[in-house]
Amino acid sequence: MAVHRSRALSRAGFLERLFTFAFRGLVYPQIWEDPLVDMAALEIRPSDHLVAIASGSCNVLSYLTANPARISAVDLNGAHLALGHLKLTAARHLPDYESFLRFFGEANSHENVLAYGTHIKQHLDPASRAYWDGRRLDGKRRISAFANNFYRHGLLGHFIGAGHLIARLYGCDPEALLKAEGMAQQRILYERHVAPIFEKPLLRWIIRQPASLYGLGIPPSQYRSLAGDLPEGIGAVLRQRLENLSCGFDIKTNYFAWQAFGRRYAMTGDAALPPYLQRQNFEKVRARVDRVRLEQRSLTEMLAASPAKSFDGYVLLDAQDWMNDEDLTALWTEITRTAREGARVIFRTAADERLLPGRVPVPLLEAWTYDHARSRELGRKDRSSIYGAFHLYRLAEGP
């Protein structure tokens, strides 16, 4: 795997393989890239064929609201693909918007388990059905997570829960931010309930351990890049980003903040939900789910098996942070070969860095134009606030 850069018996190699082990199950119950930023950068047209890394598939479904012709989504994690198939099948077969919102918005009712058996299970592919009917360590079926706040599950859900536990040990209550009336009060509540935690010796020790951030999906290579963003180190970087999440956007319309501080969505209307869960978009999503194809394979493998000039938009998430130079070159070789005229590529990096220059051969990069101003502008608008930078490349015009 690309995440393995060091010898197996070295300390770095052990951490890399521990990370790989941690990523075998469900990691992201919700994806942490802002789909509004993605769609603004991609400028999706009705003729577009998009290719994306699926992760939790929230954004794949949200892109459907912009009416692309097709979306090909891939992921190496079988749990993520099972979640994607569950969402697509539920959108198609649940009886109405209310049942869909209850399932993936509230995600906290035994009615969801009953709806799975009545409306969804028989329409799932065999692998996804086997996953959701499979048993967890506590003996319960995996689908039962939707009766017990699904967003508290998965590696990220457990990580956020651990953060809340540490905060409470020190007398802080991050959930208090959700009661803020206006952004000025958000700042006050952040200073009272979140900022003090970063001064505590226990948390400072924990975040100095690379393995402690696996729950954020940060492999050892990303950890090292992230730690270099500020002279004060990893703690200062995490504090800065959490401050932006807390204070940089109106919390009433930032569902990422609700997931971080409340471990749920605010059920107060469309503005507080991902696009695919908004009432105004439900019929669009339902009508277009057949445009999505999910595959369990690497993005490079999928592109290599595709015809030349076949895609218009590429969504790489932060996957390149995991890659060595050889992997990056192989990926961009296939992106360039399969890109149609006017193609766009978007991705994020944990650190505030360009990533590709000096690591991908110059002739490959010269086929693309980096939109620095638009990348910076959209990066500032990303409500998730967890990444160092957002990047937009466009296929350069021919001579």
* Spatial distance between the Cα atoms of 368 and 195, rounded to a whole number of angstroms: 41
* Spatial distance between the Cα atoms of 107 and 243, rounded to a whole number of angstroms: 27
Q: Please report, for residues 59, 271, 291, the alpha-carbon distance to residue 89 in angstroms, rounded to integers and kept in the order given.
A: 16, 24, 12
Helix axis angle, 220-227 relative to 11-22, nearest 10°? Answer: 110
Residues 6+ positions from 155 with CB-CB distance below 8 Å: 22, 23, 25, 26, 27, 28, 214, 215, 217
**pLDDT higher at 214 or 350:** 350
Phi, psi of 132 (to 5 degrees): -70, -25
* pLDDT for the residue numbered 202: 87
Residue 183: inside a domain, yes or no? yes
Residue 299: inside a domain, yes or no? no
* DSSP letter assigned to residue 138: T
Tell me which H or E stretch contains 66.
none
**Residue 211 token pair:** 């393995």
Residue 198: inside a domain, yes or no? yes
Nearest to 317 by CA among 61, 67, 51, 49: 51
Domain carrying residue 191: 154-263
Q: What is the mean pLDDT of residues 322-347?
A: 97
Name residue 292's beta-bridge partners: 71
Residues 6+ positions from 313 with CB-CB distance below 8 Å: 42, 44, 48, 49, 50, 51, 68, 343, 344, 345, 346
* DSSP letter assigned to residue 357: B
* pLDDT for the residue numbered 398: 65
- Considering the entire predicted model, what is its pTM? 0.92
Convert the pLDDT of each residue in 52-96 to its tens digit. Answer: 999 999 999 999 999 999 999 999 999 999 999 999 999 999 999
Domain count, the chain: 1
**Rg (alpha carbons) of the chain, rounded to whole number:** 21
Q: What is the mean pLDDT of residues 274-283?
A: 98
Q: Position of tokens 């930023």? A: 37
* Spatial distance between the Cα atoms of 344 and 322, rounded to a whole number of angstroms: 21
| Residue 328 identity (one-letter amino acid) | L
Tell me which H or E stretch contains 195.
none
Residue 244: inside a domain, yes or no? yes
Residue 9: inside a domain, yes or no? no
* pLDDT for the residue numbered 10: 45
Residue 284: inside a domain, yes or no? no
Residue 59: inside a domain, yes or no? no
Residue 356: inside a domain, yes or no? no
